[in-house]
Amino acid sequence: MADRVGVIDYGGGNLQNVLNVLKYLNHEGRLVSSPESFSNIDRLIFPGVGSFGDCVADLDRKNLRQPILDWLQADRPFFGICLGYQVLFEQSEETPGVEGLGFFTGSVIKFDGGHGLKIPHMGWNEVNPTDRGFYAWQGTPDPLHLYFVHSFFPKPDDESIINSVTEYGAPFASSVAQGNIFAGQFHPERSQDAGLALVRNFLKK
What values do phi and psi take at 22, rounded to 5? -60, -45
Does the active-site annotation cover 189? Answer: yes
Separation of alpha carbons 156 and 70, rounded Å: 21
Radius of gyration of the chain (CA): 16
Cβ(136)–Cβ(127) below 8 Å: no
Whether 75 contacts 181, CB under 8 Å: yes
Of these residues, 27, 82, 121, 150, which one is catalytic? 82
Q: Is 8 helix (H, G, I), strand (E, B) or coil?
A: strand
Burial class (CB in 10 A: 0-12, 13-18, 19+), 198: buried
Find how far residue 100's CA is from the centre of its chain.
14
Q: Which of 27, 121, 150, 187 is catalytic?
A: 187
Active site residue 145: no
Is 187 one of the annotated active-site residues of the chain? yes
Q: For residue 79, report the phi and psi dihedrals to the nearest 5 degrees.
A: -130, 110
How far apart (Å, rounded) are the C-alpha atoms in residues 75 and 177? 11
Per the residue annotation, which of 27, 55, 121, 189 is the catalytic one?
A: 189
Q: Which residues are catalytic, by number? A: 82, 187, 189
